[in-house]
């Protein structure tokens, strides 16, 4: 089970970059790089809001690891990426792709 990790990126940084990156385009897709929280599945574990965990029988032990990595794939299929491009209205030019995608990885696929 995965949840957003509050400690990864401050809101002011995210939203500050979001405004700059979207450049007023309401269809802009901004993938996220905000880390994940993980929990070992166990009896009585449940989500506690959108980003935390709770266990009815005991207090969950939280461990923060800088070197831990959870792979997350933004696009399961190439058509997921192209549909995002199409919603943004990107033409196959570097300028348009830069306007519609923030990450170099995503831009390189266009």
Tell me: the pLDDT tens digits for 14-56?
Answer: 677 677 767 777 666 555 555 567 788 889 998 887 677 889 9
Beta carbons within 8 Å of 47's beta carbon, 6+ residues apart:
1, 3, 53, 54
Q: Which residue has the higher pLDDT, 1 or 28?
A: 28
Show me where the domains of the chain are located: 2-109
Mean pLDDT of 82-97: 82
Mean pLDDT in the chain?
Answer: 74
């Amino acid at each position: 089970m995965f949840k957003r990790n509050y400690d990864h990126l401050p809101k002011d940084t995210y939203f500050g970059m979001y405004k700059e990156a979207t450049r007023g385009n309401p269809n802009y897709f901004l993938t996220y790089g905000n880390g994940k929280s993980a929990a070992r599945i166990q009896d009585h574990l449940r989500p506690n809001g959108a980003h935390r965990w709770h266990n009815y029988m005991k207090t969950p032990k939280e461990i923060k690891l800088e070197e831990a990595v959870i792979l997350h794939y933004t696009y399961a299929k190439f058509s997921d990426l192209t549909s995002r491009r199409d919603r943004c209205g990107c033409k196959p030019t570097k300028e348009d792709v830069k306007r519609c995608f923030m990450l170099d990885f995503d831009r390189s696929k266009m």
